[in-house]
């Protein structure tokens, strides 16, 4: 029975009521955490955070390795009404300065390895509280929370109270903070548990990162809201996935997970003997992967579509036909439509801008009311920036990314951000960053660069400078020099032409 409290954590707790000793999480080396353990540790962390003077609605910025204690920190934020702000561990100083400066957290938690850098960045942003949390669970956050009481009372939340702030760069190059409420997360998680048939009997193999919607809200949410359990991998390792797959009922992954599993010729239906559901998302699943996976294991991968701003929007069905190359019909309660550039709804079969409306759609961009207003229509639809088409059965296909997003190994690279950085390198006039097919990552980053002759600059210089300042997944795999960039009559760089020209560059 619901408590009437919209706090997502309160609903997680209800799922384990009377079954607190159930083991929820088992690590690869066999350490186990019951719900009671997680409840106690998250209480102690919430108590510590409160004692530091952090208040409801304050941001807690977190750049740490995936660990059970990281999960407890996330849950502690939910419990205390603090806004959880996860950061990819790959972000370097320049990027962190922006995120910390913009989110203005009351507390920063980082790996001991980065403590000196993060402390400097935090201090310049006026943040005095920095704690550490390492991949093995050690750190000053753990030490200080151990001394705290265990009976923290989860705060009552309204459905539009903020739960998390996740950044996603825009094509303008300015990363935007996406405000997600308890209501957004709760409604979408309830929908997914129902749509995908999660129950307390499920055991999920959790190998996704937890700084992103997929691993954090979709995977953890489905487990904790259904009272299920998970085998917890600190990252994707095909050998470990194969080792633990037979004890699991479900795997959620990015397409790369599936191509890597298939790369091992001995991977077969026997590995999947207890699996009832394979889910793929965050990037397009190639039809050939879908077909080969079915041939090898007998399982059809369920592909779904979502984004940080909206959580999950569409999903192929649990029961019924899963169509390769589509992301399925809209989830219950979610409206999806395709429009032309004038905002008029297009008929079935026509490609256009994909718009979404529903309780899953975010509250707005952090401190960007004009940008928020510009991305919503008068009747409350959010313009996703994706191009899509709906077929006669109501199945949606994502046909392109209006925003020219590059997705490499499931991680997003916004070309503008890399272009702005490269353009600042002496000797560079301008650049265009594109995604090019890559056998392992789906897409790899390629920079097409025009020199201005003011200084000698080589491809190694550009890649080296990117490597020092940007997360590794954003660093171009190759740099190509050209005399000029192809442009249309409106002077826009024709990225599609570049993609065609360099289609085989990373073969």
Interface contacts to ligand AMP, rule CB under 6 A? 168, 213, 281-284, 303, 305-308, 327, 384, 386, 398, 401, 405, 412
C-alpha to C-alpha distance for 258 and 285, rounded to whole angstroms: 9
Nearest alpha-carbon partner for 122 in 101, 95, 93, 91: 101
Nearest alpha-carbon partner for 351 in 365, 359, 340, 360: 340
**Minimum CB–partner distance for residue 212 and ligand AMP (Å):** 6
The DSSP call for residue 203 is E
**Minimum CB–partner distance for residue 434 and ligand AMP (Å):** 15
**Minimum CB–partner distance for residue 461 and ligand AMP (Å):** 30
C-alpha to C-alpha distance for 234 and 27, rounded to whole angstroms: 8
**Minimum CB–partner distance for residue 327 and ligand AMP (Å):** 5
How far are the Cα atoms of 28, 104, 236, 380, 438 from residue 136, in angstroms, in the given order? 12, 27, 17, 44, 33
| Of residues 102 and 412, the one with the C-beta less far from ligand AMP | 412
| Of residues 215 and 227, the one with the C-beta less far from ligand AMP | 215
DSSP H/E element including 91: none
| Of residues 282 and 297, the one with the C-beta less far from ligand AMP | 282
| Of residues 98 and 152, the one with the C-beta less far from ligand AMP | 98
C-alpha to C-alpha distance for 125 and 61, rounded to whole angstroms: 12
| Of residues 389 and 485, the one with the C-beta less far from ligand AMP | 389
The sign of the CA dihedral 200, 206, 209, 214 is negative
Nearest alpha-carbon partner for 185 in 60, 69, 309, 332: 309
| Of residues 139 and 170, the one with the C-beta less far from ligand AMP | 170
**Minimum CB–partner distance for residue 344 and ligand AMP (Å):** 22
Burial of residue 491, with CB atoms counted within 10 A of its CB: 0-12 exposed, 13-18 middle, 19 or more buried:
exposed
**Minimum CB–partner distance for residue 21 and ligand AMP (Å):** 35
Cβ-based neighbours of 393, under 8 Å, separated by 6 or more = 321, 323, 329
Nearest alpha-carbon partner for 163 in 103, 89, 67, 75: 75
| Of residues 87 and 307, the one with the C-beta less far from ligand AMP | 307
C-alpha to C-alpha distance for 106 and 82, rounded to whole angstroms: 10
| Of residues 179 and 307, the one with the C-beta less far from ligand AMP | 307
**Minimum CB–partner distance for residue 39 and ligand AMP (Å):** 29
**Minimum CB–partner distance for residue 254 and ligand AMP (Å):** 9
């Amino acid at each position: 029975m619901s408590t009437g409290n919209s706090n997502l954590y309160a609903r997680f707790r209800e799922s384990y009521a009377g079954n607190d000793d159930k083991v929820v999480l088992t690590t690869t080396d066999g350490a186990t955490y019951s719900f009671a353990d997680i409840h106690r540790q998250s209480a102690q962390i919430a108590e510590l955070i409160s004692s530091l003077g952090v208040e409801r609605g304050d941001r807690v910025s977190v750049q740490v390795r995936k660990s059970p204690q990281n999960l407890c920190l996330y849950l502690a934020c939910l419990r205390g009404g603090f806004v959880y702000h996860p950061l990819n561990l790959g972000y370097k100083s320049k990027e962190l300065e922006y995120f910390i400066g913009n989110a203005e957290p009351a507390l920063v938690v980082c790996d001991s390895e980065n403590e000196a850098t993060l402390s400097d960045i935090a201090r310049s942003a006026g943040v005095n509280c920095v704690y550490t949390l390492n991949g093995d669970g050690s750190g000053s956050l753990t030490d200080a929370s151990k001394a705290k009481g265990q009976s923290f009372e989860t705060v009552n939340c309204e459905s539009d109270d903020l739960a998390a702030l996740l950044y996603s760069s825009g094509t303008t190059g300015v990363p935007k903070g996406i405000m997600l409420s308890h209501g957004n997360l709760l409604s979408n998680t309830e929908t997914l548990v129902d749509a995908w048939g999660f129950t307390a009997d499920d055991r999920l193999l959790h190998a996704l990162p937890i700084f992103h919607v997929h691993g954090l809200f979709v995977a953890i949410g489905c487990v904790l809201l259904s009272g299920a359990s998970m085998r917890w991998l600190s990252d994707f390792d095909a050998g470990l996935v194969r080792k633990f797959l037979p004890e699991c009922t479900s795997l959620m992954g990015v397409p790369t997970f599936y191509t890597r599993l298939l790369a091992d010729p001995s991977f077969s239906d026997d590995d999947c003997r207890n699996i009832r559901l394979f889910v793929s998302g965050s990037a397009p699943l190639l039809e050939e992967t879908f077909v080969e996976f079915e041939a090898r294991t007998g399982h059809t991968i369920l592909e779904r579509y979502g984004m940080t701003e909206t959580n999950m929007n569409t999903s192929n069905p649990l029961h019924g036909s899963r169509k390769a190359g589509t992301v399925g019909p809209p989830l219950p309660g979610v409206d999806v439509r395709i429009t032309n550039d004038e905002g008029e709804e297009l008929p079935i079969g026509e490609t256009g801008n994909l718009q979404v409306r529903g309780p899953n759609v975010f509250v707005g961009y952090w401190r960007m009311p004009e940008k928020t207003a510009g991305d919503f229509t008068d009747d409350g639809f959010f313009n996703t920036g994706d191009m899509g088409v709906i077929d006669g059965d109501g199945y949606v296909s994502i046909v392109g990314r209006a925003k020219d997003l590059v997705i490499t190994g499931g991680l997003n690279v916004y070309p503008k951000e890399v272009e702005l950085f490269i353009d600042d390198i002496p000797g560079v006039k301008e650049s265009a960053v594109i995604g090019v097919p890559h056998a392992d990552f789906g897409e790899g980053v390629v920079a097409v660069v025009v020199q201005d002759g003011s200084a000698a600059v080589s491809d190694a210089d550009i890649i080296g400078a990117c490597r020092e300042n940007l997360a590794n997944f954003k660093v171009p795999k190759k740099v190509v020099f050209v005399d000029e960039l192809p442009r249309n009559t409106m002077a826009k760089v024709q990225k599609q032409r570049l993609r065609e020209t360099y289609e085989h560059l990373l073969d």
